[in-house]
């Protein structure tokens, strides 16, 4: 099995008009081919989405309509991006989103694309497995590992930070196979990562909210963690306690 130090990876990041992979469009993309010691190739470009950029998205990435005016369309740059990605293992933070929005863009324009077949490593899940950062956003991981700030929240700055975060998170693994094996199983998270109870311990969250979460289409780690907590309460006969606020009065 190949050692991690000898493996080449591709880190990708897309800035978009929104979070709907079917409807939203890419407005900036960056990709970098690297291993643990050097960078082999990289590219980044702003992209004219040929549609409106919502204000809510501009507040996140600060890419305005004037900045993408006259820039290439995705059909012009996507073949080069896909060629750089090749069949390498793809790295990203919440990387399934980036893979999917690139794949859908390729389908929309009739561009041959096999990116969904690439193996990928999500640094968000790696951070959950690592378990020592209280918050697993890319910015908090950057601070946790004392990685220098690369500027605004833009595609290439995020790729550079993500590459370094990946190196830190991969330190406990000798081979890529070991890392994939560790991530093949759901990861137990003690803290709610989203919603109105974000940052709260799962043990402190009301039963009804956990039951609601457990029936929704969230990622495997959150569902596993919530269902594990529900099972713990049921085994400990805590369901009645959790639903009765007057029990201990």
pLDDT for res 239? 60
pLDDT for res 128? 96
Query: Which of 130, 235, 226 lies closest to 183, judged by CA?
Result: 130
pLDDT in tens, 171-212: 999 999 999 999 999 999 999 999 999 999 999 999 999 999
pLDDT for res 197? 94
pLDDT for res 247? 45
pLDDT for res 246? 46
pLDDT for res 238? 59
Query: Which of 68, 32, 34, 74 lies closest to 53, judged by CA?
Result: 68
- 193 Cβ neighbours under 8 A, 6+ residues apart: 136, 222
- Cα–Cα distances in Å, from 141 out to 167, 202, 228? 12, 22, 26
Assigned token pair, 204:
């402190």
pLDDT for res 19? 93
pLDDT for res 103? 98
Catalytic residue positions, numbered: 153
For the chain, which residues score pLDDT lower than 50? 242, 245-249
The percentage of the chain sitting over the pLDDT mark of 90, rounded to a whole number, equals 87
pLDDT for res 231? 94
What CATH number is given for 4-183 in this structure? 3.30.420.10
> So where are the chain's domains?
4-183, 202-243
What mean pLDDT is reported for the chain? 93
pLDDT for res 1? 63
How many degrees, rounded to 5, is the angle at CA 214 between CA 23 and CA 122? 55
């Amino acid at each position: 099995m190949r050692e991690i130090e000898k493996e080449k990876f591709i880190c990708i990041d897309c800035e978009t008009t929104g979070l709907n992979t079917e409807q939203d469009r890419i407005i900036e993309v960056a990709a970098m081919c690297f291993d643990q010691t050097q960078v082999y190739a990289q590219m980044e470009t702003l992209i004219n989405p040929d549609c409106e950029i919502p204000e809510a998205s501009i507040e996140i990435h600060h890419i305005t309509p004037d900045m993408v005016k006259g820039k290439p369309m995705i059909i012009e740059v996507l073949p080069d991006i896909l060629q750089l990605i090749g069949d390498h293992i793809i790295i990203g933070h919440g990387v399934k989103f980036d893979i999917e929005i690139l794949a859908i863009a390729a389908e929309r324009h009739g561009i041959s694309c096999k990116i969904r077949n690439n193996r990928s490593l999500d640094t968000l899940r790696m951070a959950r497995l690592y378990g020592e950062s209280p918050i697993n956003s890319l910015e908090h991981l950057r601070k946790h590992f004392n990685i220098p700030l690369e500027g605004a929240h833009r595609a290439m700055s995020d790729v550079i930070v993500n590459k370094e975060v990946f190196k830190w998170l991969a330190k406990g693994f000798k081979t890529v196979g070991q890392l994939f094996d560790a991530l093949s199983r759901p990861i137990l998270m003690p803290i709610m990562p989203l919603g109105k109870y974000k940052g709260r311990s799962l043990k402190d969250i009301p039963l009804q909210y956990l039951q609601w979460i457990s029936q929704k289409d969230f990622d495997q780690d959150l569902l596993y963690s919530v269902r594990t907590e529900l099972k713990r309460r049921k085994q400990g006969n805590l369901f009645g306690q959790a639903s009765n606020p007057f029990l201990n009065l």
